[in-house]
């Protein structure tokens, strides 16, 4: 039996009992996992820093967020949310008005294969939001560890095993498969796996989604993928502070965020053209002064150079392009025309790292064309669209047609974990745009509705 078979089979056995666990039991496990993570902070954060270069400040914050997510799903389970049902009492008489008694409940899907991301070694990895929401839903989990942080993955897994043993729960409730592409593919092919939650690149997600569909019994594939997160800026909103804030967002974490702003769309014309010129100049200066740290892996570093080189090969004009040193790149700012951007799909691919494209539009119609060409994004940000005007309503329509989250201020990096959150948009930003991987509704991905008809009380 290979490692994927073994983990899937143990997850299937663990699911037999975990699917019937109470909300209180699920909450107890999730809270103990949060506490164990916090108790091991001094070991885990330096390990994560060694393997990812993300720095202690960011990693401590991410660990806090991960513990918060675990506790939030503990509360959700304890409040009985996974067990809520719709009661529809019988109505006498012939159909369509008359009908039998129906009770619509939700049942956990089964063992979930969870693919960790490289850029969130805590929050989208072994004990991240997918694991927390799947456990709260009553599913078991098999984690596919990311090869970018193998030791952290192993240490976190050991900590999980201690908690499971302390609570008398089966070790297979949370399993682990380490390795590369082959191990991941083997896991998703396992017949016992009932769903897959993936956070990573659009290319990797597409390959695994195809695999999930090609199985004799296809399974749901929740892929959270890459995104270019346009910011549409109307001239009155622009000032130097905003340029500094944007530079900080583009370079934050060395640009290695799925919500990193990759496209700045400016509306030219009248005084706006001069305001936009000034904004780009301040943004360029702020980016030049930034000192991005090393990227997560050598592969990502070379993909960053290849991605920005592809922009320039496609005819885009470099505004800022300096050579990086080793694993640390320099920020890149590049201008491209609306016609080029709309015509050339290569210009709309995510370049993972501290880089952004600038587009200058002559009209609202051009802004709409740009957004329509992007087609799918985790976020769209609208700066200066606060007033209720026909033009702003058009902008909002264009933005919400392609995005999971529309911001009317600030920058898209930073995703609140809360009830109203939506993290996932149309392809290529995610595979299932009606679901979210962040926030309370992440639970819904792992519960399947079942209608119980004329059921006895015990059911
Ligand atoms: P990645 O390279 O796609 O890796 C993610 C996982 O997928 C890894 O376990 C990887 O395994 C596996 N994988 C990749 N290609 C595969 C293939 N062809 N067949 C089978 N398995 C495959 O992504 P990453 O480097 O972790 O993260 C960077 C990307 O994630 C960026 O595009 C970023 O925008 C996106 N991201 C999205 C979100 C979101 O919420 N939407 C959040 C964070 C990151 P191996 O490494 O073993 O090959």
334-344 in b/e form (b: 16+ CB < 10 A) is bbbbbebbbeb
Regions of the chain short of the pLDDT cut 50: none
In total, the chain counts a number of residues equal to 459
Predicted pLDDT of residue 166: 98
Cα Dmax for the chain: 77
Ligand 1 centroid from CA 455, angstroms? 44
Ligand 1 centroid from CA 305, angstroms? 18
**Closest residue by CA, ligand 1 atom 8:** 146
CB 293 within 8 A of CB 52: no
CB 44 within 8 A of CB 152: yes
258 is catalytic: yes
CB atoms within 10 A of CB 425: 28
Q: What is the pLDDT of residues 410-454, one digit of tens each?
A: 999 999 999 999 999 999 999 999 999 999 999 999 999 999 999
Ligand 1 centroid from CA 208, angstroms? 10
38 is catalytic: no
Measure the CA–CA gap between 6 and 263, rounded to whole angstroms: 44
**Closest residue by CA, ligand 1 atom 5:** 200
**Closest residue by CA, ligand 1 atom 35:** 200
Predicted pLDDT of residue 1: 81
Atom number, ligand 1, closest to the C-alpha of residue 300: 25
Angle at which helix 181-189 crosses helix 202-214, to 10 degrees, equals 30
Q: What is the pLDDT of residues 131-173, one digit of tens each?
A: 999 999 999 999 999 999 999 999 999 999 999 999 999 999 9
Task: Give the three-class secondary structure for 223.
Answer: strand
From the list 139, 196, 254, 258, the catalytic residue is 258
Ligand 1 centroid from CA 204, angstroms? 5
Please state the pTM of the whole predicted model.
0.96
Task: Give the three-class secondary structure for 226.
Answer: coil
Instruction: Using alpha carbons, list the distances in angstroms from residue 404 to 158, 204, 238, 429.
Output: 35, 21, 24, 9
The β-bridge partners of 232 are 265, 382
Ligand 1 site residues (CB inside 6 A) read 115-120, 124, 144, 146-147, 180-181, 184-185, 199-201, 204, 207-208, 224-227, 258, 350, 352, 378, 423, 437
Measure the CA–CA gap between 227 and 121, rounded to whole angstroms: 19
Q: What is the pLDDT of residues 189-236, one digit of tens each?
A: 999 999 999 999 999 999 999 999 999 999 999 999 999 999 999 999
Q: In this structure, what DSSP letter does residue 328 have?
A: B
CB 128 within 8 A of CB 143: no
Considering only CA atoms, give the Rg of the chain.
24
Measure the CA–CA gap between 459 and 455, rounded to whole angstroms: 6
Which of 65, 188, 202, 204 is the best mutation target for the ligand 1 pocket, counting ligand atoms within 8 Å of the beta carbon and taking the most? 204
| Number of Cα atoms under 13 Å in the Cβ half of residue 300 | 25
Residues 396-402: contacts with CB within 8 Å, 24+ apart?
398/367, 398/368, 398/371, 398/372, 399/232, 399/371, 401/371, 401/372, 402/371, 402/372, 402/374, 402/375, 402/376, 402/377, 402/426
Residue listed under structure tokens 């997600």: 205
Domains of the chain (ranges; CATH) run 3-225+430-453 (3.40.605.10), 230-407 (3.40.309.10)
**Closest residue by CA, ligand 1 atom 39:** 224
Atom number, ligand 1, closest to the C-alpha of residue 378: 41
CB 3 within 8 A of CB 183: yes
From the list 224, 350, 366, 368, the catalytic residue is 224
Output the 3-class SS for the chain.
Answer: CCHHHHHHHHHHHHHHHHCCCCHHHHHHHHHHHHHHHHHCHHHHHHHHHHHHCCCHHHHHHHHHHHHHHHHHHHHHHHCCHHHCCEEECCECCCCCCCECCEEEEEEECCCEEEECCCCCCCCCCCCCHHHHHHHHHCCCEEEECCCCCHHHHHHHHHHHHHHHHHCCCCHHHEEEECCCHHHHHHHHHCCCCCEEEEECCHHHHHHHHHHHHHCCCCCCEEEECCCCCEEEECHHHCCHHHHHHHHHHHHHHHHCCCCCCCEEEEECCCHHHHHHHHHHHHHHHHHHHCCCCCCCCHHHHHHHHHHHHHHHHCCCEEEECCCCECCECCCEEEEECHHHHHHCHHHHCCCCCCEEEEEEECCHHHHHHHHHHHCCEEEEEEECCCCCCHHHHHHHHHHHCCEEEEECCCCCCCCCCCCCCCCCCCCCCECCCCCCCCCHHHHHHHEEEEEEECCCCCC
Atom number, ligand 1, closest to the C-alpha of residue 144: 9
């Amino acid at each position: 039996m290979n490692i994927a078979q073994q983990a899937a089979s143990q997850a299937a056995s663990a699911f037999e009992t975990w699917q019937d666990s109470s909300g209180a039991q699920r909450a107890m496990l999730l809270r103990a996992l949060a506490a164990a993570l916090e108790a091991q902070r001094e070991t885990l954060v330096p390990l994560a820093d060694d393997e990812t270069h993300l720095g202690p400040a960011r990693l401590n914050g991410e660990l806090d967020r991960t513990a918060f997510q675990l506790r939030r799903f503990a509360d959700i389970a304890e409040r009985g949310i996974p067990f809520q049902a719709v009661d529809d009492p019988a109505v006498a008489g012939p159909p369509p008005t008359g009908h039998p008694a129906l009770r619509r409940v939700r049942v956990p899907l089964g063992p979930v294969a969870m693919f960790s991301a490289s850029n969130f070694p805590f929050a989208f990895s072994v004990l991240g939001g997918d694991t927390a929401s799947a456990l709260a839903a009553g599913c078991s989990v098999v984690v596919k560890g990311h090869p970018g942080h193998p030791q952290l993955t192993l240490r976190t897994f050991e900590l999980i095993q201690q908690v499971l043993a302390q609570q008398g729960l089966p070790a297979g409730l949370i399993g682990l498969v380490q390795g590369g592409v082959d191990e991941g593919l083997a896991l998703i092919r396992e017949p016992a796996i009932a769903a897959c939650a993936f956070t990573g690149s659009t290319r990797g997600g597409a390959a695994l989604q195809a695999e999930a569909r090609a199985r004799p019994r296809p399974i749901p594939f929740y892929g959270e993928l890459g995104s270019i997160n346009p910011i549409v800026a109307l001239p009155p909103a622009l000032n130097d502070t905003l340029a500094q804030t944007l530079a900080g967002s583009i370079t934050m974490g060395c640009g290695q965020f799925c919500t990193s702003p990759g496209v700045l769309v400016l509306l030219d014309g009248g005084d706006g053209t001069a305001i936009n010129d000034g904004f780009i100049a301040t943004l360029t200066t702020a980016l030049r002064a930034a000192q991005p740290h090393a990227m997560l892996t050598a592969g990502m570093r070379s993909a960053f150079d290849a991605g920005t080189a592809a922009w320039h090969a496609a005819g885009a004009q470099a505004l800022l392009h300096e050579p990086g040193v080793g694993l640390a790149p320099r920020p890149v700012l590049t201008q491209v025309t609306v016609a080029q951007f709309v015509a050339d799909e290569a210009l709309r691919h995510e370049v993972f790292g501290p880089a952004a494209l600038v587009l200058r539009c002559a009209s609202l119609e051009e802004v709409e064309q740009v957004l329509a060409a992007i087609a799918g994004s985790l976020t769209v940000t609208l700066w200066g669209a606060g007033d209720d005007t026909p033009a702003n309503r058009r902008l909002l329509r264009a933005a919400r047609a392609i995005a999971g989250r529309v911001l009317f201020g600030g920058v898209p990096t930073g995703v609140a974990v809360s009830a109203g959150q939506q993290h996932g948009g149309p392809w290529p930003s995610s595979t299932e745009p009606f679901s979210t991987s962040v926030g309370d509704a992440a639970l819904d991905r792992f519960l399947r509705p079942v209608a119980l008809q004329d059921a006895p009380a015990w059911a």
